[in-house]
Amino acid sequence: QVLLVESGGGLVPAGASRRLSCVFSGRTFSTYGMGWFRQTPVKEREFVAGISLTGDNTYHADSVKGRFTISRDNAKNTVYLQMNSLKPEDTAVYYCAAGASTGDFVLYGSAIYKHWGQGTQVTVSS
């Protein structure tokens, strides 16, 4: 009964910053690895970032490394994606996802993420 609700998307100019939030409910948040994915009509779904149970281990795709940062606040049952220096190619629907985990390591690949949010649209103008 996991529910994920994303927010923070919108239309932003190139070079701007934006922070996405995803609120988790229905299970114990601290036992779930979390990730952010993005998708467009012309690209397959991309694993943007992942974070382990405690937040001690993270992954960022090469396409966003140095610009995006995933983080989590287990006291607030929330995972964030801080997006800086946004580019038009970052335009996509961004999805928050959760996968049950028994260790403090990043979960890789979409198949292991069993719960998904509805997505939030990020559009970066040129």
pLDDT category at 13 given cuts 50, 70, 90 is very high
pLDDT category at 37 given cuts 50, 70, 90 is very high
What is the average pLDDT across 86-100? 98
How many CA atoms does the CB half-sphere of 104 hold within 13 Å? 5
Give dist(CA 115, CA 3) in Å, integer: 8
pLDDT category at 107 given cuts 50, 70, 90 is very high
* pLDDT tens readout for residues 39-84: 999 999 999 999 999 999 999 999 999 999 999 999 999 999 999 9
